[in-house]
Each structure stands twice: as structure tokens, then as C-alpha cells.
Structure 1
Amino acid sequence: MHKRDFIDLRSFSREELEQILLDAEAIKSGQKDVSQVLSGKTLGMLFSVASTRTRLSFLAGTRQMGGHAEYLNTGDLQLKNRETVTDTAKVMDRFLDGLIVRMYDMKSYGSGREALETIAANTSFPVINALDDKDHPCQVMSDVLTIKEQLGPDFRKKKVLLTWGFAQRQKSPGVTHSMMSAAALLGMNLEVAFPEGFEPDEAYINFAKKQAALSGGRLSFSHNMMAAAEGADVIYVKSWKALNLSDEDELAIKNSVRADWCLSSRHFEAASQHAVYMDCLPSIRGEEVTAEVKDGPRSIIFDEAGNRLYMQKAIMNFVFEKIKAPHHIPLFT
């Protein structure tokens, strides 16, 4: 059976995403045992960008599934000395049973995805996207799990607002793109708010519009955070880089709209009575969100972070159950 990578949610069906969600729920409740799925397997974790939740949840998840994950910083490998991604991947293919990759450079949009695709094309094991410059599928699947837990079985009918928030640092639009893909495939009601100039990648917008029409979901866009917050059941704040602006123009726009794009309690006054606050972390109090909201009773950010462990296990179970254990080949024939 051919391997299955987990790189871009657009590559999956609604049924597959629903199965992964069900598995995560079963793993969390103890109804599904995955403690031996990775027995005897060694996974690499190739990271060129800092990580807390993704790194820790994969390390713990792999161990709890009977395997071993080895953290590999690109700065410690011969990639630092200009060894190619292709050569690196082919060597790793001789040693590892899977690879979890976080690799991107926001100065070169698309270069991270190109690297992941190169690795996937030159390995026989599953490759899992731990955030590139286009997608963050593991984070978003965990987010959907959290939304379902909070809103109940009819979560698809509830309004989820994913809003851009001011941040000094340039961040990947991966969460935004993956959330649009997941929501559209699953038939969710999603509104995405952002200042003019911070539009998501057109390819993801077109995919999400088409899939939402097929799934019965709802996808809308807004340039006004306050208006978009009206009636929201979830308000999720996430900053991302402007894809079509120079750094100078992006900074000028960000500074000019900062006051209007910091999520605060006044936005929740417009939301539904029981609306909750989400963000994937890290977030800076006073930038994307006020401390009052981030540390307040509506915040479920640490429950959201905790669900990363169960979702990583469900994803690893999904990709590894698709392949058979390699046959033992004799040394001499």
C-alpha cells in the first residue's frame, strides 16, 4: 500500500477528516488504544522554525504510541552547509520510519511547501506538515476538535470567526488556509476577517468557496472585526503576513490599523452570549488580543493547546495504518 502524507487538508475528503476527528475523540476518552501503533518506529522531527506546542505534542504523542521521535534542528544538520533537501531526504529515508517537518521562510512565500513536497517525493515514509508557509493542518484539526467539544454535535451550524490580529512578527497564513479548507470540507459556518491587503491566498479561497457550496457550509469575508464578531460563537484570533505587499507597505498598514485589530471585550459584547475565545498561541497581550480576553473566563486557549496531543496521535495513527510494515530483506540471496 502506498504511503499517505499529511501536508495539505485539500488532499483529504470530508469522510477522512471526520474519521480523524472521531479517532482523536476516542483516543482522548480512552476508547481507542494506539499505544503500540508506533512500536519499534523512529520518527524524525525536522524543524527550521521555533515550536512549543507542536514539538512537545509530537514528542509526547510518539512516545505514548510506542515509538521514538528525534528532534532535528536544520541548523545542526548538513543542510546548514548547503546539502540539498533532496539528498537529506534520501538519506533520512534509509534511517527513519516517518518525518514531521516544520520548515518555511516568510521572506519567500511557497519555499516551505516546495521543501515539504521535495521531501515527500524522495522518501518512502509518511511526511507530516508541522507548519509551512501555506498550511498548518495539525493545528487546525485540533482546533476543530476543540470547537466540536465546546459547541456540541451541531458545531457546523455555529458561527466561527477567524480574525486577523495585529502582531509585530510576521507569521505564516497556514492556520487561516487550513481552517478555510477544513471548514469548507466539513460544512462549517466560517467568517474570516482581515484588513485590506491581508487577503489569504486566492487558491485557498477558491477551493473553500467550491467545497462550502458542496458541503452545505458557509464561508464569508469581512474587513471589519467588530461587524464580523456579531453573533459569533467562537472568536479565534490569528495574525498572518500580507502575501502581496512589500515588508515596508505591510508594516505601514499594520501600524495604521493596529487599534482596530486588537481583539477585546467589546468584540465579545457583539458575539453570542456563550462565545469562547481561541488562539493557537503564542499571542502577545496587547497585540492580537487584550489580557482581559486572553486571561478571561471566555478563553479556552489551554484546552485548545492540550488537544494537540490527541490530534497528533490521531493523525499519526491515520498515516501509519495506511502502510504495511516493511518486509525483512535477507542480506544475501
Structure 2
Amino acid sequence: MAARHLISLDDLTDADLHSVVARGAAFADGRGGPARPLDGAVTGIYFRKTSTRTRTAFSAGALRLGGAIVGYGPDDLQLNTGETTQDTGQVFSRMLDVLVARTAGETAELRAWADQDRMSVVNAMSADEHPTQGLTDLTTLLRRFGRIEGLRVLYVGEGNNTAAALALGLMRFARVELELRTPPGFGLAEEIRATALAHAARTGATLVERHDMAELPQDVDAVYTSRWQTTGTSKGDPNWREAFAPFQVTAALWERSPKAAFLHDLPAHRGEEVTAEVLDGPASIAFDQAANKMYSAMAVLEWCRTGALCDLNGEALR
């Protein structure tokens, strides 16, 4: 069976996306079954940039599914001595069954490694998209609300790779409303916005982006933010903090949406993108969200190895 790759959420069909999300929720709820789809498989875990949740999630997830792992740090590969990306990928694909890689750069390198049908390649975060975070977020929303269709989500902060994945994922579900409030000059990339809007036109979802904090939507189901200093990136504007300051998530946001859940992809900087009162308060499900990353990783690994689809309850269809 040809290898399946996850470089972008747009690599998944609607059926695959919905299935992986439902399967992640099933694993989290103890309904994953006794199957060990990674028996005999070896997963490479290559992280060029720092990671706590994603690296642990895929390592633990592979082991729980019966697989073995090989870990690589940023200084472990001959890429550092001049070996080409293509040659490294050729070697990987002849020894590994799955490669989970965080480069924090452009996806071209990951696409090069995926240019074969023996080894699955999973993007564990690139500069433009964090697809496995997006799947975790969808799994978290499904577990919290029992559905994704029709949810209303407010995202506050930079239009970074987490926001990109959130937009690309949510717009694949009917009647979802996603409003992003991003600082001027730090919004979604045009290509991401265009792709998300195309999905929205097809599913009946709604995507709105503004660059101020006036007239916030009322009675949203979830408020989401991400840290201002995205892993592996820097900002060219030395005064960027002044632009970001009005976009801090505080308890005042709950005056308009008192029942909203709070999400954060972590790590968090209390007092910057979010106050401690919110992150550690009763509305926060940020640490449950982090725990869901392992279950979502298990669903991704299973899909890479088997391509199996499941229904909205996470039960296998084939």
C-alpha cells in the first residue's frame, strides 16, 4: 500500500479529515480498540526545533500503537555536513515506515522527502502551517461540544501556522463561523486565506478576519489564542509588541461570551498573549487540549499506515 503523507491539512480529503478527527476522539475516550496498527513499523521522530507536546505525542503515540521509534535531534543528521535533502530522504525512506519532522522552515523539504511511496511523512510544524495542531484542535472541539458543525470560534492573536491550520480545518465543516482578530501586518497569509475561503464557500462555513478588537462577536463557543513568539520565527518589526498589546486575551472577553471554552496551543506566556486568570481559570481547556495531541497523533499514525476511515463516532468503516 502506498504511503500516505500529511504535509498540509489540504492533503486530506474531507472524509479523511473528519475520520482522523473522530478517531482521535475515540482514542481519547478509550474507544480505540485493541488494534496495534504500527506493529513492526519504525517511526522516525526528527525535530530541528524545540518541542514538548508534539514530540512527546508522536513518540508516545507510536509506542502505544505497537511501533518502535528512532529519535533525531537538530545536530544528528549529515544534513549538517552538506548531505542533500534528497539524499537524506532516500536513506530515510529505505529504513523508516513513518517520518514525523519539525523543520519550522518551508514545506519544500518535507515535500521532497514525501516524493516516494514507501515512507509516510508527517509535518510536525513548518513555517506556514501546523497541521497536526489543527487536528488536535478539531479533536478537542469535538470532545468538548460533541460536534464541530455550527460552532462559533474567535481566534485572537497572530495569524501564524497554528491559525492557518485552524482556518484550513474548521472551514471543512458545515456552518462553522471562525472570526480572527489579528494585529495589523500579522494576519493570515493570503494563500491560506484564499484556500480557507474556498472551503468555506463549499461547506457553508464563514471566515472573517479583522485587525482590531472592536465589536467582538457575542456568544462564541470557543476563544483561542497562541503565543506571540511562534517557535522558530522572529519578527522584523522591532515595535511589534505595541501592535500586539491590544490583542491580549483577558477575562473581559467572557462578558460577551460567558460560556466560551478557552483554547491555547501552548506553550503559554502568562501576561503576554493571555492572562493567568484566563489560562488557569475554569473556562480553560488548554491542558486537556495538550493531552489530546497524543490521541490525535495516534489517529494520524494509524491513518498513515492503514488509510482506514471511521464514522463520526470513531468506529471503523473498513
Measure the CA separation in 2 of the matches of 1:100 and 1:37.
Answer: 17
1:285 to 270, 289, 292: 270
The alpha-carbon distance between structure 1 residues 265 and 229, as it changes in their structure 2 partners (threshold 3 A), is: farther
1:263 to 240, 249, 272: 249
Query: Cα deviations across residues 196-216 of structure 1 (Å, max 9, x unaligned)?
Result: 111211111111111101101
- SS of corresponding position for 2:149: helix
Letter in 2 for 1:238: S
- SS of corresponding position for 2:69: strand
Measure the CA separation in 1 of the matches of 2:130 and 2:161.
Answer: 5
Measure the CA separation in 2 of the matches of 1:22 and 1:211.
Answer: 20
CA contact (8 A) 1:3 1:322 kept: no
- SS of corresponding position for 1:190: strand
Q: What stretches of structure 1 of length at least 5 have no aligned partner?
A: 106-111, 166-171, 324-333
The alpha-carbon distance between structure 1 residues 210 and 241, as it changes in their structure 2 partners (threshold 3 A), is: farther
- 1:251 alignment partner in structure 2: 238
Equivalent residue runs for 1:158-197 within 5 Å: 158-164=151-157, 173-187=160-174, 188-197=176-185
- SS of corresponding position for 1:224: coil
- 2:61 alignment partner in structure 1: 61
Measure the CA separation in 2 of the matches of 1:6 and 1:317.
Answer: 12
Q: Does 1:119 align with 2:113?
A: yes
Measure the CA separation in 2 of the matches of 1:241 and 1:113.
Answer: 20
Q: Does 1:309 align with 2:303?
A: no
CA contact (8 A) 1:34 1:317 kept: no
- 1:211 alignment partner in structure 2: 199
1:221 to 209, 234, 245: 209
- SS of corresponding position for 1:162: strand
- SS of corresponding position for 2:71: strand
Deviation, structure 1 residue 182: 0.7
1:128 to 111, 122, 129: 122
Letter in 2 for 1:260: P
- SS of corresponding position for 1:49: coil
Aligned residues: percent identity? 30
Measure the CA separation in 2 of the matches of 1:247 and 1:304.
Answer: 27
1:300 to 275, 281, 285: 285
- 2:18 alignment partner in structure 1: 18
Q: Looking at both structures, which has the greater relative contact order when contacts are Cα pairs under 8 Å and sequence separation is at least 6?
A: 2
Measure the CA separation in 2 of the matches of 1:201 and 1:31.
Answer: 37
Letter in 2 for 1:322: G
CA contact (8 A) 1:89 1:122 kept: no
CA contact (8 A) 1:100 1:127 kept: yes
Rg comparison, structure with higher value: 1
Measure the CA separation in 2 of the matches of 1:185 and 1:34.
Answer: 30
- 1:109 alignment partner in structure 2: none
Query: Cα deviations across residues 28-85 of structure 1 (Å, max 9, x unaligned)?
Result: 2333326421111111011100000001111111111011111111312211112111
Matched positions, count? 304
Deviation, structure 1 residue 152: 2.7
CA contact (8 A) 2:25 2:143 kept: no
Measure the CA separation in 2 of the matches of 1:219 and 1:301.
Answer: 23
The alpha-carbon distance between structure 1 residues 214 and 240, as it changes in their structure 2 partners (threshold 3 A), is: farther
Measure the CA separation in 2 of the matches of 1:182 and 1:305.
Answer: 18
TM-score between both structures, scaled by the size of structure 2:
0.90
CA contact (8 A) 2:227 2:269 kept: no
TM-score between both structures, scaled by the size of structure 1:
0.86
- 1:82 alignment partner in structure 2: 82
Query: Cα deviations across residues 163-221 of structure 1 (Å, max 9, x unaligned)?
Result: 116xxxxxx92211111111111232111110111121111111111110110111111
- 2:315 alignment partner in structure 1: none
1:230 to 218, 238, 241: 218
- 1:327 alignment partner in structure 2: none
Please give the root-mean-square deviation of Cα atoms over the aligned residues, in Å: 2.0
Letter in 1 for 2:212: N
CA contact (8 A) 2:2 2:117 kept: no
Deviation, structure 1 residue 239: 4.3
